[in-house]
Amino acid sequence: MKHIFITGGVVSSLGKGLTSAAIGMIFERMGRKVSMQKLDPYINVDPGTMSPYQHGEVYVTDDGSETDLDLGHYERFTHCRITKHSNYTTGKIYHEVISKERRGDYLGRTVQVIPHITDAIKEAIRRGADDGTDIAITEIGGTVGDIESLPFLEAIRQFSLDIGRKNCLFIHLTLLPFLRASGEIKTKPSQQSVGKLREIGITPDVLICRTERPMTPEMRDKLSLFCNVEKKAVIEERDVDFSIYEVPVNLVREGLHDILVEFAGLPAGTRPDFSGWNEMLESARNPEHEVEIAICGKYLQLDDAYKSHYEALAHAGFHARTRVRIRKVQAESLGQLEPGRAFSGVDGVLVPGGFGERGFEGKVQAAAWARETGTPFLGICYGMQAAVVEFARNAAGLDGATTTEFRPDAEHPVISLMEEQKQIRNLGGTMRLGAFACRLATDTRIAECYGRTEIEERHRHRYEFNNAYRDRLRSAGLILSGVNPELDLVETIEVRDHPFFIGVQYHPEFRSRPDAAHPLFREFIRAALLRRFPEEVPDAASAAGGGIAG
Ligand code: GLN
């Protein structure tokens, strides 16, 4: 097994996660098995308790860990298995070491950053790679030069000695800023950032340069000379024109694969096979239709907060050769703003997940508007809970129906905690997390979307559909279309006589891929297309296929 370590320099938000995912994909498409992992230097044990404004979306894995959103990129670009070992934070590493110290495992020794913390990091790197992996890719979060990433850098330096330097490839992603005043791209910050790495004892083998303008041959020479990196290993990564999914193809155009081929010991001249992917890009580049989807949530200022939702909508659009325009509707604005005005002209309404009281009533109004006007609706997690509350109040006549999340004394607690959850006090890691089975009833819209009745999807929530209300809601016309067979919990709902009104307690967005849109998003966009073009159903929209949720 060989290891690749990806570090970042100069600034954060360089797209290190995307670049790492793209590298993983290039290897996969040259027939190698990859594993992917991210090490994050912050002290939270996981991002589960962090605000979306701090951290963006929390990405949930099949085995129920709450991780960094970069792992979403890994899954969208590659087929590697993402687990709880795929994301370690400083907090998680220290937590392990301190627990061992409390147990007395260190037998009276002084516990120190080197070697105990660095050993724990190296152990985490080993756990991150599955058996049979050819190439294990580890992305180091943060920016080189920060105090907090030092133990990680020290650990990967040691790791490269442990397994042999030739079995490691250090890739440094850096920024070449463009100075408008002088009309120049500058290399100095990159030189200094590589200098910082070399102080620690790491000499990068590859320099990937993020830039808005093309790099000149002189710049490449200069970077090679001052950073001590071979010329052919100075790779330009220019800003993409239209889609992040171009990144792997662009990196190959710049010759990155040649270096990866050499490192992995593949036959010279091996090239990645982008079939399928190129067709997806082609369809993404040339949409034939357009629909507008309203997202009614509360973290709309920050694109990262609903990252996987936006991606999944885009994937469904690629599938149907449709550009999906997004209208962001602040849930709490629906107090003052008429839903009819806020949603006027949209072809579908998506209510994403969320927590807490703020904005909840707006989500309920969004569901009501979509149900009454026959507009395609997809409610995810809190979005489904809002749809159940709406239905209970307006169709089943249960005034005062709500969730006990913020109304513990609700008159009709249609969404509530299961008995066994009521004792839980800690907030971190105590939700229903990870993949759970769900059985769909035949003859439902949702079973038609998936094309089967046994599915498995990822969850991240505390509250549930309250089974005490099953009969009352069902007799008012709510279809309880999917149930967890073991826990007997309602996982999906839909309403009758509506072109598309589906709520799911789970998060389908985590399992959508650009070249295999998730069936629910695919059918949601198809329903939106049908609403916009009722006369002529576009061909692409009716094409079957896609979908990986399994
Ligand atoms: N707040 C809700 C719950 O905890 C929904 C969570 C979510 O949307 N992810 O059950």
Ligand 1 atom, smallest distance to 383 CA: 8
**From the CA of 279, how far away is ligand 1's center (Å)?**
36
Element (H, E) at 157: helix 150-163
Exposed / middle / buried, residue 192 (Cβ in 10 Å: 0-12, 13-18, 19+):
middle
pLDDT at position 283 over 60:
yes
CB atoms within 10 A of CB 276: 12
Quick: pLDDT tens for 154-197.
999 999 999 999 999 999 999 999 999 988 899 999 999 999 99
What lies within 8 Å, CB to CB, of 71 at 6+ separation is 36, 38, 59, 61, 82, 86, 87
* Ligand 1 proximity of 465 Cβ (cutoff 6 Å): no
Look at residue 500 in the predicted model and tell me its pLDDT. 97
Element (H, E) at 6: strand 2-8
Quick: pLDDT tens for 207-243.
999 999 999 999 999 999 999 999 999 999 998 878 9
Mutate to test the pocket of ligand 1, among 351, 381, 466 (most ligand atoms within 8 A of CB): 381
Q: Comparing C-alpha atoms, which of 386, 354, 356 is closest to residue 368? A: 386
pLDDT at position 546 over 50:
no
Quick: pLDDT tens for 292-339.
999 999 988 888 889 999 999 999 999 999 999 999 999 999 978 899
Q: Which amino acid is at 533?
A: F
Active-site residue among 168, 296, 381, 438? 381
Look at residue 548 in the predicted model and tell me its pLDDT. 38
Would you state the structure tokens that stand for residue 141, as one six-digit string? 């979060």
- How far apart are the C-alpha atoms of 124 and 66, rounded to whole Å? 16
290 is catalytic: no
The DSSP string of 457-498 is EEEEES-EE-GGGHHHHHHTTEEEEEEETTTTEEEEEEESSS
Quick: pLDDT tens for 425-442.
555 557 889 999 999 999
| DSSP letter assigned to residue 114 | I
Look at residue 278 in the predicted model and tell me its pLDDT. 95
Residues facing residue 493 across a β-bridge: 503
Mutate to test the pocket of ligand 1, among 295, 299, 355 (most ligand atoms within 8 A of CB): 355
* Ligand 1 proximity of 15 Cβ (cutoff 6 Å): no
Instruction: Quote the percentage of the chain above a pLDDT of 70.
Output: 95
- How far apart are the C-alpha atoms of 451 and 455, rounded to whole Å? 10
Residues facing residue 513 across a β-bridge: 516
Distance between alpha carbon 503 and the CA centroid of its chain, in Å? 20
Element (H, E) at 54: helix 52-55
Look at residue 422 in the predicted model and tell me its pLDDT. 62
154 is catalytic: no
Q: Mapping DSSP to helix (H, G, I), strand (E, B) and coil, where does residue 60 land?
A: strand
Look at residue 282 in the predicted model and tell me its pLDDT. 92
CB atoms within 10 A of CB 72: 25
Residue 506: φ, ψ to 5°: -100, -175
Ligand 1 atom, smallest distance to 381 CA: 8
Q: What is the mean pLDDT of residues 269-287?
A: 94
Ligand 1 atom, smallest distance to 380 CA: 8
- How far apart are the C-alpha atoms of 10 and 345, rounded to whole Å? 44
For residue 210, CA distances in Å to 21, 178, 183, 292 come to 15, 11, 17, 32
**From the CA of 491, how far away is ligand 1's center (Å)?**
13
pLDDT at position 404 over 90:
yes
> Residues for the chain: how many in total?
550
What is the band of 424 on the pLDDT scale with cuts at 50, 70, 90? low
Q: What is the mean pLDDT of residues 47-61?
A: 83
Q: What is the mean pLDDT of residues 447-457?
A: 96
CB burial readout 416-435, b (16+ within 10 A) else e: bbeeeeeeeeeeeeebbbbb
Q: Comparing C-alpha atoms, which of 357, 496, 381 is closest to residue 432? A: 381
- How far apart are the C-alpha atoms of 395 and 392, rounded to whole Å? 6
* Ligand 1 proximity of 463 Cβ (cutoff 6 Å): yes
* Residue given tokens 């701090």 in the structure block: 54
β 501-504/234-238 pair status:
unpaired
**From the CA of 306, how far away is ligand 1's center (Å)?**
14
Q: Comparing C-alpha atoms, which of 327, 298, 328, 325 is closest to residue 314? A: 325
Look at residue 13 in the predicted model and tell me its pLDDT. 83
Quick: pLDDT tens for 73-100.
999 999 998 999 999 999 999 999 999 9
Quick: pLDDT tens for 342-381.
999 999 999 999 999 999 999 999 999 999 999 999 999 9
Asked whether the beta carbons of 153 and 200 are under 8 A apart, the reply is yes
What lies within 8 Å, CB to CB, of 439 at 6+ separation is 453, 454, 482, 483, 484, 485
Would you state the structure tokens that stand for residue 361, as one six-digit string? 């009533």
**Sheet strands side by side (includes 289-297):** 322-330, 289-297, 348-351, 377-380, 501-504, 489-495, 478-484, 432-440, 454-461
Active-site residue among 55, 257, 309, 507? 507
Quick: pLDDT tens for 130-141.
889 999 999 999
Ligand 1 atom, smallest distance to 507 CA: 9
pLDDT at position 450 over 60:
yes
Asked whether the beta carbons of 353 and 433 are under 8 A apart, the reply is no
381 is catalytic: yes
Ligand 1 atom, smallest distance to 355 CA: 1
Quick: pLDDT tens for 460-497.
999 999 999 999 999 999 999 999 999 899 999 999 99
* Ligand 1 proximity of 532 Cβ (cutoff 6 Å): no
* Ligand 1 proximity of 76 Cβ (cutoff 6 Å): no
Residue 502: φ, ψ to 5°: -125, 135
CB burial readout 50-70, b (16+ within 10 A) else e: eebeebbbbbbbbebbbbbbb
Exposed / middle / buried, residue 504 (Cβ in 10 Å: 0-12, 13-18, 19+):
buried
Between 256-264 and 16-28, two packed helices, what is the crossing angle to 10 degrees? Answer: 60
**From the CA of 273, how far away is ligand 1's center (Å)?**
40
Residue nearest to atom 1 of ligand 1 (CA): 355
Look at residue 382 in the predicted model and tell me its pLDDT. 96
Residue nearest to atom 8 of ligand 1 (CA): 353
Residue 2: φ, ψ to 5°: -110, 155
Ligand 1 atom, smallest distance to 356 CA: 1
Active-site residue among 57, 75, 405, 509? 509
What is the band of 549 on the pLDDT scale with cuts at 50, 70, 90? very low
Quick: pLDDT tens for 5-30.
999 998 888 899 999 999 999 999 99
Would you state the structure tokens that stand for residue 453, as one six-digit string? 């009745």
**From the CA of 539, how far away is ligand 1's center (Å)?**
37
- How far apart are the C-alpha atoms of 235 and 253, rounded to whole Å? 10
- How far apart are the C-alpha atoms of 441 and 393, rounded to whole Å? 25
Quick: pLDDT tens for 261-274.
999 999 999 999 99
What is the band of 46 on the pLDDT scale with cuts at 50, 70, 90? confident
Mean pLDDT of the chain: 92
* Ligand 1 proximity of 306 Cβ (cutoff 6 Å): no
Residues facing residue 39 across a β-bridge: 88, 140
**From the CA of 387, how far away is ligand 1's center (Å)?**
13
The angle formed by the CA atoms of residues 237, 240 and 244, to the nearest 5 degrees, is: 100
* Residue given tokens 């330097």 in the structure block: 165
